[in-house]
């Protein structure tokens, strides 16, 4: 068995392997993820690789590239995703082969470790350290009984059933719906938080992640006295039989604006008689907060990185828009 770096001529074979091993995942998602591996610069393709037994794919790991700022220096990095070993070949040391190959790269980040991977990888991959834990937050409003009723009826909303107002006013902040890339306003360098380590949110990210994609996402930019101070992205999702509004992504110039974002998301849910909203993020909030009601659940999602730096956890703002969280944890 040998490791082979992915090239576009292996697309059909790898796609078949992924569908065979992830039968419940949307084929459009797998296709979108492979497109990210194909579109990057040629010298970066070797972060998506396969384990071959003769001419048969028996394992793989795929990569989606983005940019990050680490202590003021912008660089490329990749999210690892869709790492899988065929059931027939498990227990034969292939997992170790993959981890050892990953260990050669210092720009890797991943989230959504299985418990086994979380225990094994630090023993094999040099300098692997944890990233901020991702929490699952549940928004609840007065329509939760209505949502329970819909669940009992197995009623699933369509994208066209959801109304997104063009303007949402929360206190002295105004959220304006963005219907095209031409309407978007970006920060000069694509960064918002002024954190030591921060993932970029620039034009290329929005195009790839929210506009040139098979799902419908709705972007809102938050204005305070005419100045852009935050944004958030939502979509209709389906989670454990419930129709929900998913808060997929957000950024703000001041953390104080997060409550306004939460209120705007809750307002969208209530306008559509949807009793729940959900978000996955490493931003740690209270276990229970009110106005709106937001509950931090017991679910924790762990990850790791090989970014160079100090020992200990790598503090990083992560949302559902990063890695494959938005595609894997709900539909």
CB hemisphere CA count around 318 (13 angstroms)? 28
The answer on 121 and 187 residing in a single domain is no
pLDDT tens digits for range 42-88 = 555 578 889 999 999 999 988 888 899 998 889 889 888 878 999 99
Q: Around Cβ 216, how many Cβ atoms within 10 Å?
A: 12
Decide if 74 is inside a domain: yes
* Predicted local confidence at residue 211, as pLDDT: 94
Q: Around Cβ 160, how many Cβ atoms within 10 Å?
A: 8
Stretch 79-105: mean pLDDT: 87
- Return the percent helix, strand and coil in the chain, to nearest 5: 30, 35, 35
* Predicted local confidence at residue 125, as pLDDT: 82
**Long-range contact set of residues 39-44: C-beta below 8 Å, sequence gap at least 24:** 40/65, 44/76, 44/78
* Predicted local confidence at residue 41, as pLDDT: 62
Domain finish residue from 80, 96, 130: 130
- % the chain with pLDDT above 70: 96
Please tell me the total count of domains within the chain: 2
Domain finish residue from 130, 150, 184: 130
State residue 330 phi and psi, 5-degree precision: -160, 165
The answer on 142 and 189 residing in a single domain is yes
**Domain containing 215 — which CATH number?**
3.40.630.30
* Predicted local confidence at residue 40, as pLDDT: 62
Q: For residue 295, what pLDDT band results from cuts at 50, 70 and 90?
A: very high
Decide if 147 is inside a domain: yes
Full-model pTM: 0.92
Please state at what angle helix 94-102 crosses helix 115-124, rounded to 10 degrees.
60
What's the chain's average pLDDT? Answer: 90
Decide if 315 is inside a domain: no
The answer on 294 and 149 residing in a single domain is yes
Rounded CA-CA distance 301/111 in Å is 7
Decide if 113 is inside a domain: yes
Rounded CA-CA distance 5/60 in Å is 10
The answer on 254 and 219 residing in a single domain is yes
Q: For residue 267, what pLDDT band results from cuts at 50, 70 and 90?
A: very high
* Predicted local confidence at residue 62, as pLDDT: 86
The answer on 161 and 54 residing in a single domain is no
Q: Around Cβ 313, how many Cβ atoms within 10 Å?
A: 13
* Predicted local confidence at residue 178, as pLDDT: 97
Rounded CA-CA distance 25/16 in Å is 13
pLDDT tens digits for range 113-155 = 766 777 777 788 878 888 899 999 999 999 999 999 998 989 9
CB 250, CB 119: distance < 8 Å:
no
pLDDT tens digits for range 217-266 = 999 999 999 999 999 999 999 998 999 999 999 999 999 999 999 999 99
Decide if 330 is inside a domain: no
- % the chain with pLDDT above 90: 57
Domain encompassing residue 95: 2-130
* Predicted local confidence at residue 134, as pLDDT: 94
CB 175, CB 264: distance < 8 Å:
yes
Decide if 160 is inside a domain: yes
The answer on 141 and 121 residing in a single domain is no
């Amino acid at each position: 068995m040998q490791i082979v770096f992915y090239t576009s001529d292996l697309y059909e074979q790898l796609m078949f392997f992924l569908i065979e091993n992830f039968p419940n995942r949307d084929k459009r998602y797998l296709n979108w993820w492979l497109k990210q591996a194909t579109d990057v610069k040629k010298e970066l393709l070797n972060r998506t690789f396969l384990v071959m037994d003769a001419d048969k794919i028996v394992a793989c790991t795929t990569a989606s590239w983005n940019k990050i700022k680490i202590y003021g220096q912008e660089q490329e990095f990749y999210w690892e995703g869709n790492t899988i070993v065929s059931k027939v070949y498990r227990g034969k040391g292939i997992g170790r082969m993959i981890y050892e190959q990953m260990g050669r790269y210092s720009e890797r980040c991943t989230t959504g470790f299985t418990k086994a991977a979380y225990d094994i990888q630090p023993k094999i991959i040099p300098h692997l350290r944890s990233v901020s834990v991702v929490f699952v937050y549940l928004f609840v409003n007065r329509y939760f009984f209505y949502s329970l009723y819909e669940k009992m009826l197995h009623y699933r909303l369509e994208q066209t059933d959801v109304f997104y107002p063009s303007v949402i006013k929360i206190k002295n902040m105004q959220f304006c719906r963005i219907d095209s890339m031409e309407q978007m306003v970006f920060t000069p360098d694509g960064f918002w938080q002024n954190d030591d380590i921060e993932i970029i949110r620039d034009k290329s990210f929005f195009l790839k992640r929210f506009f040139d994609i098979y799902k419908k996402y709705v972007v809102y930019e938050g204005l305070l006295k005419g100045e852009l101070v935050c944004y958030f992205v939502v979509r209709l999702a389906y989670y454990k039989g419930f129709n929900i509004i998913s808060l997929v992504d957000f950024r703000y110039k001041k953390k104080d604006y997060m409550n306004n974002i939460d209120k705007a998301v809750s307002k969208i849910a209530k306008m559509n008689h949807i009793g729940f909203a959900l978000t996955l993020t490493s931003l740690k909030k209270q276990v229970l907060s009110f106005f709106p009601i937001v509950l931090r659940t017991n679910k924790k999602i762990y990850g790791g990185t090989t970014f160079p730096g100090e020992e200990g956890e790598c503090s990083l703002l992560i949302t559902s828009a990063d890695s494959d969280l938005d595609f894997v944890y709900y539909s």
